[in-house]
């Protein structure tokens, strides 16, 4: 798998939720995104403003996509003087606000919803996302993202046979395109370090893809440098600068992250987990896992409360 696919596989959990909502002026809504949840809004028609907990309001117009990857309290309003009504968190079912004339033309039509994230298994790529990811609409821009939005909007507006299978897949597709769009736009903004720059760098990206494609491979810095087309020293410097940790430290971290996901999501015996992530013996794997997670893999599997990311060490 590629890096972005793996990131989503690691962090996504539970079932995403979504709804098509019509908002009638004047309106104001306040909601809280709890930890472990990421909210989204796609403006199909109309305009309004997001009121973040800190900073200036964000103007949203038709075609805009909004992604809120972390918890916090937010407001949405069509006017500064609108009265705010508290709504359930995005992780709960969405319902259209009541108290308006159903025959009146809505001032905004929105696709909204939430993804459940496993905060304990986060990838550093996600930690670099800003608290508000705003992707403005533009003629000829983000054609694949727009196609996913159109399909999702049609399914939610007029559910048909198979919608229960189609909608979750479209929500996952939407998440991929949102993250891909944000990552692709970062280098143009002058970013020189971090995961957006790492994935945009052909050499480092090639090494990351190799690691994610086969974490069990006994990688060396020299082998990864060959994949990157760089000398050993130049590759190690560039990888560490962009990714934030040395190549083999990242290999170990990713192996144990994959192992933790297998322990949580499968019944594979420890020997199979160890082999899948490149450890020659169950004993060596157990020792490495305990150093990173502070508990042995068997105990980690039995106690969901322990499901967390390995230590940055």
Q: Are residues 181 and 50 in the same domain?
A: yes
- The answer on 233 and 171 residing in a single domain is no
Provide the sign of the torsion angle of the four alpha carbons 96, 101, 103, 109, taken in this order: negative
Question: From CA 21, how far away is CA 156, in angstroms rounded?
Answer: 10
228, 208: one domain: yes
Pair 157, 123 in one domain = yes
**CATH at residue 221:** 1.10.10.60
Residues 173, 258 within the same domain = no
Q: Does the pLDDT at position 26 exceed 50? A: yes
Please indicate, yes or no, if residue 192 is contained in any of the structural domains.
no
Q: Is residue 191, in this structure, part of any structural domain at all?
A: no
Q: Which of 132, 159, 175 is nearest to 15 (CA)?
A: 175
120 with 17, same domain: the answer is yes
On whether residue 190 sits in a domain, the answer given is no
Please check whether residue 175 is in contact with residue 114, taking contact to mean a CB–CB distance below 8 angstroms: no
Domains held by the chain: number: 2
Q: Specify if 241 maps to a domain.
A: yes
Q: What pLDDT was estimated at residue 96? A: 45
pLDDT tens readout for residues 76-85? 998 877 677 8
Domain that holds residue 177: 3-185
Last residue of a domain, one of 155, 185, 215: 185
What pLDDT, on a 0 to 100 scale, did the predictor assign at position 120?
63
Say what the pLDDT of residue 313 is.
40
In terms of domains, do 140 and 281 share one? no
Highest mean pLDDT among 35-44, 54-63, 146-155, 228-237 belongs to: 228-237
* pLDDT confidence of residue 186: 79
Regarding whether 202 and 177 lie in a shared domain, the answer is no
Final residue belonging to a domain, choices 130, 150, 185: 185
- Same domain as 212, residue 101: no
Q: Are residues 51 and 112 in the same domain?
A: yes
User: Is residue 226 over pLDDT 50?
Assistant: yes
| Three-state DSSP string of the chain | CCHHHHHHHHHEEEEEEEEEEEECCCCEEEEEECCCEEEEEEEEEEEEEEECCCCCCEEEECCCEEEECCCEEEEEECCCCCCCEECCCCCCCCCCCCCCCCCCCCCEEEEEEEEEECHHHCCHHHHCCCCCEEECCCCCCCHHHHHHHHHHHHHHHCCCCCHHHHHHHHHHHHHHHHHHHHHHHCHHHCCCCCHHHHHHCHHHHHHHHHHHHCCCCCCCHHHHHHHHCCCHHHHHHHHHHHHCCCHHHHHHHHHHHHHHHHHHHCCCCHHHHHHHCCCCCHHHHHHHHHHHHCCCHHHHHHCHHHCCCCCCC
Q: Is the pLDDT of residue 104 over 80?
A: no
Domain edge (last residue) among 185, 206, 222: 185
277 and 160, same domain (yes or no)? no
């Amino acid at each position: 798998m590629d890096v972005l696919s793996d990131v989503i596989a690691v962090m996504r959990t539970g079932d995403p939720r979504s709804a098509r909502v019509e908002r009638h002026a004047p309106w104001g809504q306040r909601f809280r995104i709890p930890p472990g949840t990421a909210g989204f809004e796609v403006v199909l028609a109309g305009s309004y403003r997001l009121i973040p907990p800190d900073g200036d309001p964000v103007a949203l117009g038709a075609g805009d996509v909004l992604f809120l990857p972390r918890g916090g309290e937010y407001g949405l309003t069509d006017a500064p003087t609108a009265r705010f009504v508290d709504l359930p968190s995005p992780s709960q079912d969405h319902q259209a606000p009541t108290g308006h004339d159903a025959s009146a033309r809505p001032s905004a039509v929105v696709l909204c919803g939430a993804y459940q994230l496993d905060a304990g298994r986060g990838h550093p790529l996600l930690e670099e996302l800003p608290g508000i990811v705003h992707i403005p609409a533009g003629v000829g821009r983000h054609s694949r993202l727009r196609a996913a939005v159109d399909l999702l909007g049609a399914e939610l507006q007029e559910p048909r046979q198979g919608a229960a299978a189609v909608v979750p897949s479209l929500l996952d597709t939407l998440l991929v395109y949102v993250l891909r769009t944000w990552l692709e736009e970062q280098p143009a903004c002058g970013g020189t370090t971090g995961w957006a720059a790492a994935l945009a760098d052909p050499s480092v990206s090639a090494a990351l893809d190799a690691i994610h494609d086969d974490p069990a491979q006994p990688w060396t810095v020299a082998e990864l440098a060959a994949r990157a087309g760089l000398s050993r020293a130049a590759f190690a410097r560039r990888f560490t600068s962009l990714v934030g940790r040395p190549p083999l430290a990242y290999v170990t971290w990713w192996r144990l992250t994959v192992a933790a996901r297998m322990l949580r999501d499968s019944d594979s015996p420890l020997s199979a987990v160890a082999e899948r992530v490149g450890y020659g013996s169950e004993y060596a794997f157990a020792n490495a896992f305990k150093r990173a997670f502070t508990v042995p893999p068997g105990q980690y599997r039995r106690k969901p409360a322990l499901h967390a990311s390995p230590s940055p060490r």
